Amino acid sequence: MRKLALPNFTVSDALTACLAHVGDAELASRLQSVQAHLTSAEQDYDHNASATTLHKIEPTDDVLGLVSKKEMVALYEGNFRRTKTQGRRIYDALKAGATHGICPLCGVQRANTLDHHLAKTEHPTFSITPINLVPSCSDCNHSKLTHQPKSSAEEALHPYYDDVDDARWLFARLIEEQPASLIFFAHPPSDWDQTKRARVIRHFDSLSLARLYTSQSSDHLPSMRFRLERLLKTVGPLGVREHLIEELNDRLKDRNNSWQIAMYDVLSNSEWY
Ligand SMILES: [Zn+2]
């Protein structure tokens, strides 16, 4: 998972933008009446997300009994996500927060949507709260578990609040068959606390990242093999290893975890390969 900078927008900005397109005066008035509550809930969210205690925020069926879940979801879909609305400008700016347009959750696919970190069906209060809206690819958005976590260890990693790239945790095993293939696995460092270790493993499993990374590397390995065979003829096996180590070290300057880093690591250490 790749860490992202916190959004520059507040729920108050989002609500103001959405209200520009609410024609029903009675609904507009009810939405205005919950504005202060949405702001205090946003502060509460920020505090809990920083402490990995978002699981303590109880699901609700509405916002203060004044705005229903259905109305909040409709507000998000119709006045925030829908193109050519003022809300959409914030939606697009949040989506653009993904580094190089890549989904921060898998680090591979294009971030083409926003994921409600706390699901809007469980937590309508956070339907349009920017810090709850994380750029993601459709696959990660769909495979994220929607169940309410019961403990910190069960909380999904949050790109605005969590940093799990301070040490290496993503590794690969080489399957020594023709054609060679890789199996990826999460192995967090033993000096991390139990909660962080559990969350990384959960993240890796729930998003089926092993499958995604194997497919990415399987696509990449054949073309790489031609290049390495050419190198083998000119610089020999030691030269090939040096090349793989160089590729690994160049990538490690940028981050600690990616399927490419895991791949170059296992290949440069393999006698067989
Ligand atoms: Zn993704």
* CA 84 to ligand 1 center in whole angstroms: 26
pLDDT of the residue at 145: 61
CB 135 within 8 A of CB 95: yes
pLDDT of the residue at 176: 85
Query: One-letter amino acid identity for 76?
Result: Y
* pLDDT tens figures, 119-136: 999 999 999 999 999 999
**Domain residue spans of the chain:** 11-154, 170-268
Provide the token pair at 168.
């290496």
* CA 173 to ligand 1 center in whole angstroms: 22
CA distances from 257 to 11, 57, 60, 110, 265 (A): 33, 31, 37, 18, 11
* pLDDT tens figures, 72-84: 999 999 999 999 9
* CA 108 to ligand 1 center in whole angstroms: 6
pLDDT of the residue at 44: 98
* CA 95 to ligand 1 center in whole angstroms: 13
Nearest to 87 by CA among 19, 10, 6: 19
What is the rounded CA–CA span in Å between residue 273 and residue 260? 16
Residue 109 is given by DSSP the state: S
Before 179, cis peptide (omega within 30)? Answer: yes
Orientation angle between helical segments 25-33 and 35-50, nearest 10 degrees: 40
* CA 115 to ligand 1 center in whole angstroms: 10
What is the rounded CA–CA span in Å between residue 97 and residue 130? 11
Residue 47 scores a pLDDT above 80: yes
* CA 36 to ligand 1 center in whole angstroms: 33
* CA 266 to ligand 1 center in whole angstroms: 24
Residues around the ion ligand 1 (C-beta < 5 A): 103, 105-106, 109, 137, 140
* pLDDT tens figures, 91-121: 999 999 999 999 999 999 999 999 999 999 9
* CA 29 to ligand 1 center in whole angstroms: 38
Q: What is the pTM of this model?
A: 0.93
CB 197 within 8 A of CB 237: no
3-state secondary structure labels for all residues of 190-232 = CCCCHHHHHHHHHHHHHCCHHHHHHHHHHHHHHHHHHHHHHHH
* Average pLDDT score, the chain: 95
